[in-house]
Amino acid sequence: MPLNREFIGRKYPPLTSTVTLEALQKYARAYNDDNRRYFDPSAAGGIVAPPMYGVVVAWMSVVGAVGDPALGADLLRLLHAEQDMEFIAPLRPGDEITTVARVASIEARPGGEAMTLELDSRNRAGDPVLHTLFGILIRAARRDRSAAGRAERPAAPSGDPILSVEQTIDRDQTFRYAEASGDLNPIHVDENVAKMAGLPGIVVHGLCTMAFTSKVVIDGLCAGDPVRLKRLRVQFSRPVLPGQSITTRVWAAGEHGGHTAYAFETYNPEGMAVIRGGIAEIAP
């Protein structure tokens, strides 16, 4: 059954989440980040949440929208295709963040249907703190050759990268990330379910892999200051497996909106991209 296109533009009721010190630190540990801004109250500027912790405060809004039975999304055929996050203001312990989800688009793609969910997150005062585009693909039961065009694949950056960082995914990474993020999809924690879904076994959450890349950017390009990261965008192109090493390569990409822009891609041990079209924007 196709997605219900009458839902384009539909907004869901606001949902509120409280940022706690315990939760933000648990999230940082879930992707092996020991940045002192997340743990040391004596750090200049005080403790802030990892930028990617924004997925936690908005997660139930995602679940409520994507899981709406009237929308018609087949969750067994759902793939998280891309994520674009604008970090407008840092999240701190004690903040109350309210998120509104809106179905921004539904369109045909080769092999299925794509939907973009727009998430607007604001603090207690009503000021925006986070803007997210959450892109999913509902795979067709059989490949639909009538869909217009081919899936767009961004060209890999050319030239030598300015930064290349290898990171290792722990064997228990998916269990820790599931608990810290709230994303309990069984393909990340249950070998049998993952294989029933056609996967080789448990796979790493795409947003966990994205969190690993955020650490590369913050450590290597922001002098360790997470508040300087203003945008992170990725396209998920291949699953990552527990125990694998991933390598993120970064290229300079000029300026955008007063921020320094970078392009990046992340590769598995075979040199195949697991993240394509990466964009990071950093404040001075």
End-to-end CA distance of the chain: 48
Give the CATH number of the domain where residue 255 resides. Answer: 3.10.129.10
- Mean local confidence (pLDDT), 118-144: 90
**What local confidence, expressed as pLDDT, does residue 74 receive?**
84
**What local confidence, expressed as pLDDT, does residue 139 receive?**
83
- Top pLDDT among 147 and 3 is at 3
Share of the chain above pLDDT 70, in %: 95
Could you tell me which residues are beta bridge partners of residue 16? 98
Whole-angstrom distance, CA of residue 252 vs CA of residue 224: 18
Could you tell me which residues are beta bridge partners of residue 252? 262
Go through the chain and tell me how many residues it has: 284
Query: What's the pTM?
Result: 0.93
Q: Which domain holds residue 227?
A: 5-143+151-282
**What local confidence, expressed as pLDDT, does residue 149 receive?**
35
Number of domains in the chain: 1
**What local confidence, expressed as pLDDT, does residue 150 receive?**
39
pLDDT at 276 over 80: yes
Over the stretch 155-200, which tens digit does the pLDDT of each residue have? 778 899 999 999 999 999 999 999 999 999 999 999 999 998 888 9
